[in-house]
Amino acid sequence: MPTTTIGVLTAGGDCPGLNAVIRAVAKPLLHEGFRVVGIEDGFRGLIEDRTRPLGVDEVSGILAQGGTILGSCNKSNPRRFATGLNPDGSPRIEDVTGRCVATAERHGIDALIVIGGDGSMSCACELREGFAARGRELRLVGVPKTIDNDLWGTEVTFGFQTAVATAAGALDRVRTTAESHHRAMVVEVMGRNAGWIALHAGLAGGAEVILIPEIPFDLDVVARVVKERAGRGRRYSMIGVSEGARPIGGAKIVAKVDPTSPDPIRLGGVGKFVADEIERRSGVESRYVVLGHLQRGGTPEAFDRVLATAFGHHAAGLVASGRWGRVAVMSGGRVTDIPIEDTASRQRLVPIDDPTIAAARAVYTSFGVA
């Protein structure tokens, strides 16, 4: 059966460049005669039958717009969806794939373009299995999205460069108050289990210490860097820390657990922990800043607009040629594609021998280890 109606959804956390992808996917497909349907709030729109047609007018003028015109949601895996509470107060988790099948049939949706990260790709693969169990085929094409730059199989994801620019800019601004008050300033950035944002923003922002999940740190070493700088008359220090960083022999700091989410662990708090320990161990007054969702918002950088457009264009080409079950990726500096299963529930971490780590060490940046 020929594919004629394509559903497009943006799943997981928001990210600069999402609208650029929607634009780059929809325009060529509309030109080829496909009907394009926007699904609101990620997979939740499939579950709750919330869709809207996307025409040329709807996707024009959104290239530089932050966020996503379709909305997003990171708590809507159809195979494990919270539909209410059990008698004991715990969330009632159900498989609501049948609702998604009904929505797709009601609107004639033949295939889905899923714009998301590793969790979203995993949800898409599980949903495809759920459709198959009900005798229905779900055709998929993926576009990699995450500010964390941790999607397996692609060298870079759109949104990452904008997040890095935001974090590096924050380090620049915090540095002046650190100098004025002779403090150690700790800036906590996002990244989950991968240190890409902290590494690149820390290097761009001239941080004296960068702490990433891939290299467990020694608090005494971090404090010694700060104290030695103070002893040389450099009476301030900048420390960039990824939310997933942890001390040697210690655990990552968990801010909360959300049992209704497919990814229930919410990291956070390591910035305060490191700042408190620096002050206690070095005697240098310390403060911390948590950037949080500032890194997700705002206008995408030019690099991310171009990359998002290239990914969207490639995804549209996969649909037009009927190459299903693929996700657009960057490999060897060129946009290509790999099986969507390869990206599901896998994370691309910072290799210990990454050239950026070597470059940082060459300019005397510490990673909190002797």
Helical spans, DSSP H, in 53-152 = 97-107, 118-133
Q: Is 342 a catalytic residue?
A: no
- Is the torsion defined by CA of 309, 310, 311, 313 positive or negative? positive
CATH topology of domain 5-157+300-342: Rossmann fold (3.40.50)
Which pLDDT belongs to residue 2?
A: 66
Point out the catalytic residue in the list 14, 41, 118, 148: 148
| Local mean pLDDT, 10-residue blocks, the chain (370 residues) | 86 93 97 96 96 96 95 89 89 92 94 93 92 93 94 95 96 94 95 96 97 97 95 92 96 86 83 96 94 90 97 97 96 95 89 96 96
Q: Under CATH, which number does the domain 160-295 receive?
A: 3.40.50.460
pTM for this one?
0.93
User: Does the fold of domain 160-295 match that of domain 5-157+300-342?
Assistant: yes
Which pLDDT belongs to residue 75?
A: 84
Q: In the chain, what are the domain boundaries? A: 5-157+300-342, 160-295
